[in-house]
Amino acid sequence: MTAPPKGAKMKIGNTIPGGSGLGDLLTEMRRASPLVQCITNYVAMNIAANVLLAAGASPAMVHAEREAGEFAAIAGALTVNIGTLSPDWVAGMHRAADGANQAGKPWVLDPVAHFATSYRRDTVAGLLALRPAIVRGNASEIIALAGGMSAGQGVDSGDTVASAEASARSLAGRTGAVVAVTGAVDFVTDGKRAVRIEGGSPLMPRVTALGCSLTCLVGAFAAIRPADPFAASIAALAIFAVAGERAGRVSEGPGSFGWRLLDALAALDPAGLEREARISEAVQA
Amino acid sequence: MTAPPKGAKMKIGNTIPGGSGLGDLLTEMRRASPLVQCITNYVAMNIAANVLLAAGASPAMVHAEREAGEFAAIAGALTVNIGTLSPDWVAGMHRAADGANQAGKPWVLDPVAHFATSYRRDTVAGLLALRPAIVRGNASEIIALAGGMSAGQGVDSGDTVASAEASARSLAGRTGAVVAVTGAVDFVTDGKRAVRIEGGSPLMPRVTALGCSLTCLVGAFAAIRPADPFAASIAALAIFAVAGERAGRVSEGPGSFGWRLLDALAALDPAGLEREARISEAVQA
Amino acid sequence: MTAPPKGAKMKIGNTIPGGSGLGDLLTEMRRASPLVQCITNYVAMNIAANVLLAAGASPAMVHAEREAGEFAAIAGALTVNIGTLSPDWVAGMHRAADGANQAGKPWVLDPVAHFATSYRRDTVAGLLALRPAIVRGNASEIIALAGGMSAGQGVDSGDTVASAEASARSLAGRTGAVVAVTGAVDFVTDGKRAVRIEGGSPLMPRVTALGCSLTCLVGAFAAIRPADPFAASIAALAIFAVAGERAGRVSEGPGSFGWRLLDALAALDPAGLEREARISEAVQA
């Protein structure tokens, strides 16, 4: 689907950088069933909550200015997605991110189509200043966030993940956040280390809000690994890639893929996950 | 899944307290196809509307302050769910509840995670003062609403229904509302009488917003039995339990359960419903 | 399901008024994958985006007053649906329609239940004054919009499409918009010409927001035929009717129909579309 990724294909396999086995992380997350506060867009609300429930986490969609900060102290992690914006919601996002920071909880930023309008550009700049632990976006979003020229127009990426790798490294270096670029082959970097994750299905971009849902799943792993956002991001992306690949094999189209992905997430066994995950180190070109 | 319910297992079967047969109530609801005004949360909007349509009712999602009260006079019943709150919406909820009260229409309150933040606690107190005919919640929500200490944190219940029975009776006695606690075995009381309803599927808590959707279905039966909220609640819960049990038997996971529940609701026949419903009187311990 | 449509059954078949083949239009739309700005209701958000993605277009849900006008200049077309209203959103709708008009982009109005409350009546009057290229509604909505007495109460139509044909012609004549009335048999008119489109499934009204989703699909074809809203409307409705008919044949209920429609839209081949589409000229009675 895209240009083959550059760099080594050395399989990392079942050990995530940081020392945990991938299957163990899934088991640990399910046991903890972390409460994830998701401020996401109207399109993603339902499917994101269902992705978290299917995987084993506990979603809570709490965004109002009057309660978002208070709730962030209760939740294990926060995710903020700017897909459908309005001033009230942006105020709630700021409160929530402040609350998470004060409580020492990690938060994840999903800068949906931030390059499309001046309102989005302003909003994402304000949120980046609140130091997310992780930024997850598609290639166009990450390229534009790093200051590059992206081919994106709407919410779909017009660029390949491979073309966004340098931007991701640069953005991670500048902000201190782990940057996860998702697409046909995912790329995750903390500015120094980087991995690629293969898997998923060509049906994924045909179903709306799966990227947004993945952001929430990243939050679930950030909640159980608050000190290691790099490992948390890799775990969430690898799980989504394996479940997506399994779902894709038995789906007839985007409609069936939507619910089969949920079934696959719920059925995912730690051993099968480790066997099927394809994580490789990405050596800088 | 939970502690076995206390009290008699005497089957009530096909006669709901109040005198109607369960199958007849389903037939009557489908014939009337009552217009149910649902003020619900963003996560539940779509699935709740689909649950009502599948069961045979007519949903209308109308929440704006400028029209919510006017619409409540047109609708057969109103349901109010505080899952995703904001000041504009709370204003609309008050207008709608006032409008329903003035028009003599029953309304149902779903106090989602009302214990989680001060904003929610304030909101639910204000709404309870507007005298809902029925309150439907999970065990943690009902325990906290009755003034007890619940184990809930987010939107998922941390308590069993059995542990919420005394709270439900107390809340019903204090407010005059019928209280429905849903979980592995449901419990419904008007403060004097009480029943338990068995059925459903362990997959139900793995799909988001099914409780919220059930609240809307309670509204559909409240619309055709405005003077008997106890019977209306039991009918809705029993139908959901039977459809959920049927769907659960043929589902491979939470994704397939979501759509199979809708198919099961639409296919539910009055005779099968009466045969499979498991309603029993709950004698006070 | 409804009274048989009056007028000629002359099959128009694979040539849409305006000269394009139906299959060619589908291919052209998929190749262009037009960016469609959808201001739709909370119930429809997810399914509408999925309908556009499955069919081959690129949805963007952008409604905030601060960005809706700016985005309308980027998008290929705009759709505005008043299903769930609030003042902020109405302001965004106006900005978006103004932006579309200034940029020469077509926009589509979906006047959901506009007769139900005074707030809706005011809102739809304000939007109609901004000259939509196309109005799509159910029979009750179109009858009421043309000044007639409709049998509608909530969001479901209480009237047959056949009974709305004269209203549709009158509304098209008065506003200059193409008017599309959807139901068991659809009717489209520009005030002079008119066609009927057969197909679909009795399950369609049992699934929420499919009409809203169809409005967004009309936007996708308006984006590639901005000068010919009559052809664009017919193409979108015919595609939905064929995909709906295919999905209906293999569905067990409204739950399965929901995802099978998406699969059918994605799998729709131009040749099969032309073979199965049933478009006929509607001669004025």
DSSP A32-89: H--EEEEE--TTTHHHHHHHHHHHT-EEE----HHHHHHHHHHSSEEEEE-SS--HHH
Contact call for C154 and B264, based on CB within 8 A = no
Interface check for A46 against chain B (CB to CB < 8 A): the answer is yes
For residue C205, is pLDDT > 50? yes
Alpha carbons A47 and B25: distance in angstroms, whole number:
33
Asked if residue B5 is part of any domain, the answer here is: no
Please state, for a pLDDT cut of 90, what percent of chain A lies above it. Answer: 87
- Rounded CA-CA distance B203/A53 in Å is 10
Total number of domains constituting chain B: 1
Q: How far is B222 from chain A (nearest CA, A)?
A: 26
Q: Can you give the pLDDT at residue A3?
A: 36
Residue A268 CB partners (closer than 8 Å, separation 6+):
A26, A55, A239, A242, A243, A246
Read off the pLDDT of each residue in C80-90 and give the average, rounded to a whole number: 96
Residue A134 has pLDDT above 70, yes or no: yes
Q: Which chains touch C (3 or more CB pairs under 8 A)?
A: A, B
Query: If DSSP codes are grouped into helix, strand and coil, which group holds residue B37?
Result: strand
What is the predicted pLDDT for the residue at C19? 62
Q: Give tens-digit pLDDT for A101-133.
A: 999 999 999 999 999 999 999 999 999 999 999
C34: tokens are 């037009």
Query: Taking CB atoms and an 8 Å limit, are C43 and B46 in contact across chains?
Result: yes
Q: Which residue of A has its CA nearest to C266?
A: A253
**What's the pLDDT at B3?**
36
Over range B152-171, report the average pLDDT: 86
- Arithmetic mean of pLDDT, B279-283: 93
Chains touching B, CB cut-off 8 Å, 3+ pairs: A, C
Please report the residues numbered 210 through 249 in chain C whose beta carbons come closer than 8 angstroms to any beta carbon of chain B.
none
DSSP letter at B18 equals T
Kindly report the nearest CA distance between residue C44 and chain B, in angstroms: 7
Which of A160-164, C130-134, C172-176 has the lowest average pLDDT? Answer: A160-164
Q: Determine the Cα–Cα distance for residues B58 and C151; give it in Å rounded to an integer.
A: 14
When pLDDT is averaged across residues C106-111 and rounded to a whole number, the result is 98
- Average pLDDT of span C98-110: 98
pLDDT at A148: 81
Mean of pLDDT over chain B: 92
Q: How high is the pLDDT of residue B236?
A: 98
C2 in any annotated domain: no
Q: Which residue of B has its CA nearest to C85?
A: B64
Q: What is the pLDDT of residues B1-48, one digit of tens each?
A: 333 333 333 455 556 666 679 999 999 999 999 999 999 999 999 999
Asked if the structure places residue C190 within a domain, the reply is yes
Task: Find chain A residues with C-beta within 8 A of B209's C-beta.
Answer: 46, 49
A8–B contact, CB cutoff 8 A: no
The one-letter code for the residue type at C37 is Q
ipTM, interface predicted TM-score of the complex: 0.93
Non-local CB neighbours of A192 within 8 Å, separated by 6+ positions: none
Query: How does pLDDT run across A74-102, given as a tens digit for each residue?
Result: 999 999 999 999 999 999 999 999 999 99
pLDDT score recorded for residue C17: 66
Q: Mean pLDDT throughout C268-280?
A: 96
Minimal CA separation from A256 to chain C, in Å: 6
**Amino acid at the residue A224:** I
Nearest-angstrom CA–CA distance, B140 and B28:
33
Cβ contact C67–A118 (<8 Å)? yes
Say how many C-beta atoms besides its own lie within 10 A of residue A30's C-beta. 16
* pLDDT, mean of residues C136-142: 96
Supply A223's token pair.
């909640």
What residues 70-99 of chain C have any CB closer than 8 A to a CB of chain B?
Answer: 83-87
Is B67 in contact with C154 (Cβ distance < 8 A)? no
Would you say residue B172 has pLDDT above 90? Answer: yes
Q: Quote the pLDDT of residue C5.
A: 39
Structural domain including B170 reads 10-282
Query: CB of A130 within 8 A of CB of A101?
Result: yes
Smallest Cα–Cα separation from C167: which of C144, C196, C184, C183?
C144
**Domain contains A236:** yes
Mean pLDDT over all residues of chain C?
92
B136 strand-pairing partners: B180
Question: Is C154 in contact with B60 (Cβ distance < 8 A)?
Answer: yes
Question: Is there a domain that residue C25 lies in?
Answer: yes
**Contact A83/C74, CB-based, under 8 Å?**
no
Separation in Å, CA of A102 to nearest CA in chain B: 17
Tokens representing C119 are 């707030």
CATH number of the structural domain spanning residue B66: 3.40.1190.20
Distances (CA, A) of B218 to A239, B182, B207, B232: 38, 12, 19, 6
For Cα atoms A164, A165, A170, give the angle at the middle one, nearest 5 degrees: 100
Q: Which two tokens stand for residue C115?
A: 């007769």
CB burial string C33-48: b at 16+ within 10 A, e below? bbbbbbbbbbbbbbbb
Mean pLDDT over residues B167-188, rounded? Answer: 97
Dihedral through CA A198, CA A203, CA A208, CA A209, nearest 10? -20
Q: Return residues 156-195 of B near A (CB < 8 Å).
A: 156
**CA nearest neighbour of B236 among B81, B77, B55, B20:** B55
Non-local (6+) Cβ contacts of A102 within 8 A are: A73
- Over the stretch B233-269, which tens digit does the pLDDT of each residue have? 999 999 999 999 999 999 999 999 999 999 999 999 9
In Å, what is the CA distance from C106 to each residue of B112, C19, C92, C268?
41, 20, 17, 25
> What φ, ψ does residue A75 adopt, rounded to 5°?
-70, 160
Residues of B in contact with A213 (CB under 8 A): none
